[in-house]
Amino acid sequence: MKWLLGIALLILLVLPNFLGSYLLTVFIFIFFYAYLGQAWNLLGGYGGQISLGHAAFVGVGAYTSTYLAMTYRLSPWIGMFIGGAAAALLGAVIGYLGFRFGLRGFYFILLTVAFAEICRLIVAHLEALGGALGLFITFTGDPWQFQFSDNRYYYYIALGLMLASMGIVAAVERTRMGTYLTAVREDEDASEALGVNTFGTKLAAIVLSAFLTGVGGTFYANYLFSLQPNTAFGIPLSVEIILRPIVGGSGTLMGPILGSFILSPLAELSRSYLARGGLSGVHLIVYGSLLIAVVLFFPRGAYPYLRDLFRKRGAA
């Protein structure tokens, strides 16, 4: 398996030299959503704390770094960590309120949705952040301002983010925190009875997840060159984030990656080729049909199924 991953990485490193502009964009979105999905996976997949408001962390990170860059000329390379810290602070507030009062399941989901909506409304009414119209970034082509005229740079940055998130989650998986998160997911009451600090474990998970997601917000802003409250904090973005690990296999290291390689090209290609010539909306039907098929036939996600299949063949 390791040599297969090594070959795949080598292919991805040289691939931009053979891709056109459109396919390069598709791969950028694959890597980026895999990164966001991996950040969510740390909390929702390993910890079992389902969040449907992760767009709030993207928005906070994106708006923080963009505001600092536009107002104080602070490089987004630095602002991205400040934005990540701001998102982590928001995650700590959500986690403290949710976990201190024992919110689980639908109640915790509603709490995350509520905070994302609160953030959206606050930003939409702040003139300093562009109000409802949002912020528009002027392209200068300055790499220090996270701007590049060649999409290949964004490709490698997105790839780096994806690999970094994999490394962080793999490291957490091997620590006591990873074991505690899995125990909390399987049976929180039993874990607490055995002496696991469930509150501290879940709080640490949401803070780290929020920080990683907030850092991704800077890439989101500087790749699209615009921010609007309805998109940066909206439920659709949260759904896009959560779908990757669910389809690929939540609670697994490779699940969000595989899920993004399935969903991101499908979403982009179906939108490009089926939304033409009066077929607007058909791409959503195709997209939804695949999601239904995955949920029905691969309820644990695609990666666990493929992993078990390879193990059976290897044993045979």
C-alpha to C-alpha distance for 236 and 243, rounded to whole angstroms: 11
Sequential DSSP letters for 97-123: HHHHTT--THHHHHHHHHHHHHHHHHH
Enter the CATH code of domain 21-315: 1.10.3470
Per-domain residue ranges of the chain: 21-315
Which pLDDT score is estimated for 33?
Answer: 96
Rounded to two decimals, what is the model's pTM? 0.94
Residue that is written with structure tokens 């949920």 in the block: 295
**Rama region for 130: left / alpha / beta (φ>0; ψ in -120 to 50; rest):** left
DSSP 67: H
Helices marked H in 148-224: 151-173, 176-186, 188-193, 198-224
Beta bridge partners of 136: 226
Taking the C-alpha atoms of residue 40 and residue 46, their distance in angstroms, rounded to an integer, is 9
Q: In this structure, what token pair is assigned to residue 100? A: 């201190």
Question: Tens digit of pLDDT for each residue in 149-197?
Answer: 999 999 999 999 999 999 999 999 999 999 999 999 999 999 999 899 9
What pLDDT is attached to residue 105?
87
**Model pLDDT for residues 56-74, shown as the tens digit of each residue:** 999 999 999 999 999 999 9
- Closest by CA position to 205, among listed 246, 247, 251, 159: 251
Residue 60 in tokens: 């906070």
Least confident of 3-12, 47-56, 70-79, 251-260: 3-12
Rounded to whole angstroms, how far apart are CA atoms 221 and 291?
28
Place of tokens 């999409």: 151
Tokens in use for 189? 């009451």
The set of residues, in sequence order, having a beta carbon less than 8 Å from that of 107 and lying 6+ positions away, is 98
- Per-residue tokens: 53: 């408001």
